Amino acid sequence: MSKDISALDMRNIPAHVAVIMDGNGRWAKKRGLDRSAGHKAGADVIEALMDAAFSLKIKCISLYAFSTENWSRPSSEISSLWKLFEYYFDVKMPLMNQKGIRIVHSGVYDRLPKSMVEKIKNAEKITAKNKNIILNFCLNYGSRREIVDAANRALFKTGKNVLTEKMITDNLYAPNLPQVDLMIRTSGEMRISNFLLWQAAYAELVFTKTLWPDFRPKHLYKAILEYQKRNRRFGGI
C-alpha cells in the first residue's frame, strides 16, 4: 500500500473532487513533442485516476476537459482535441461502463461536432444506472455561462422575477452532484479559470506543480491529505 494512501483518514474523504487538468502543452514541449501528444498523454491519466478515486469511495470526479474560452486556441489543436475526445469515448467508455462509472456532461453543445455530441449523449445514456462513481466530463464548459443559463432556465420555468440560491442550483448543468469539496489544479498555475464557481464556493483548493500527464494516484492522495489538514468552517468560527 502506498505510504500516502495509508496516511489518509478514510472517514474524511471528499465526496466531490474537481480537477483542472493543466500542463499538457508544457509536458509535450519539454519532450520536443507536438501539443497533441501532451493531450493524448493527459487523456491516458484518467483511467488510473478514476480507479484510485473509486478505491477511496469518492462519489464524483469533475474533469475540466475543454473550456468555452479554449476556442481561442489554434484550429489545428482544437481539431486534434476533437479527434482525441472521440477516440476516448469510443475506446474507454465501454470499460468505464463495465467498472460502474456513470458519465455526466457539464457544458454546452454549441459549436461541438455533431459526432461528439452523439457520443456524449450515448455515454450518458448507457451509463445512467451505474452507481460506483460519477465522472462529470466538463467539455465546452464555462462557469459564468452555466450560472447565466441556470438563472434563465429558472426564470423561464417559474415565471418569477426573484431568484433563490436553490433555484440556481436546481438548474445547473448537473444539478444533482454534491458540492465540490476539493479542487485540484496541476502545472503550478494558481487560479480556477472559470471552473465550477457556484459548486466550489467552499471548496478547498490545492495547487500542484506536477504537469497533468505526470499526475498519478499518489498525487491525488497527497492532495486529499492536504485537504484533511484544513479546518473547514464554512463561514463559521
Residues 210-231, mean pLDDT to the nearest whole number: 97
E strand or H helix that includes residue 105: strand 101-106
Q: List the grid coordinates of 94.
A: 465501454
Phi, psi at 188, each rounded to 5°: 95, -10
Instruction: Please state, rounded to an integer, the average pLDDT across all residues of the chain.
Output: 95
Specify the DSSP class assigned to residue 214: G
pLDDT digits 0-9 by tens, 141-160? 999 999 999 999 999 998 88
pLDDT digits 0-9 by tens, 189-203? 999 999 999 999 999
89-93, 173-177, 208-212, 214-218 — which is least confidently predicted?
89-93
Residues forming a β-bridge with 19: 63, 184
Q: Is pLDDT of 94 > 90?
A: yes
Residue 20 gets the label, from left (phi > 0), alpha (psi -120 to 50) or beta, of beta
Residues 181-195, mean pLDDT to the nearest whole number: 98
All residues at 6 or more sequence positions from 52 whose CB lies less than 8 Å from its CB, including other chains = 217, 220, 221
Fold of 15-140+181-229: Undecaprenyl pyrophosphate synthetase (3.40.1180)
Alpha helix ranges (H) inside the chain:
3-6, 24-30, 35-43, 46-55, 75-98, 114-126, 143-158, 165-169, 217-229
Q: Is pLDDT of 237 > 90?
A: no
Provide the pLDDT for residue 2: 58
Residues 203-219, mean pLDDT to the nearest whole number: 98
Number of DSSP helices (H) and strands (E) in the chain, helices first? 9, 6
For residue 232, the tally of other CB atoms under 10 A from its CB is 12
Residues 36-57, mean pLDDT to the nearest whole number: 97
Q: Is pLDDT of 1 > 60?
A: no
Buried b (16+ CB within 10 A) or exposed e, 168-198: beebbbbeebeebbbbbbbbeeeebebbbbb
Provide the pLDDT for residue 59: 98
The closest of 160, 229, 236, 235 to 14, measured between CA atoms, is: 229
pLDDT digits 0-9 by tens, 61-73? 999 999 999 999 9
What percent of the chain lies above the pLDDT cut of 70? Answer: 98
Catalytic residues: 22, 70
Structural domain spans, the chain? 15-140+181-229
Residues 44-53, mean pLDDT to the nearest whole number: 97
Provide the pLDDT for residue 3: 61
Residues 168-192, mean pLDDT to the nearest whole number: 97
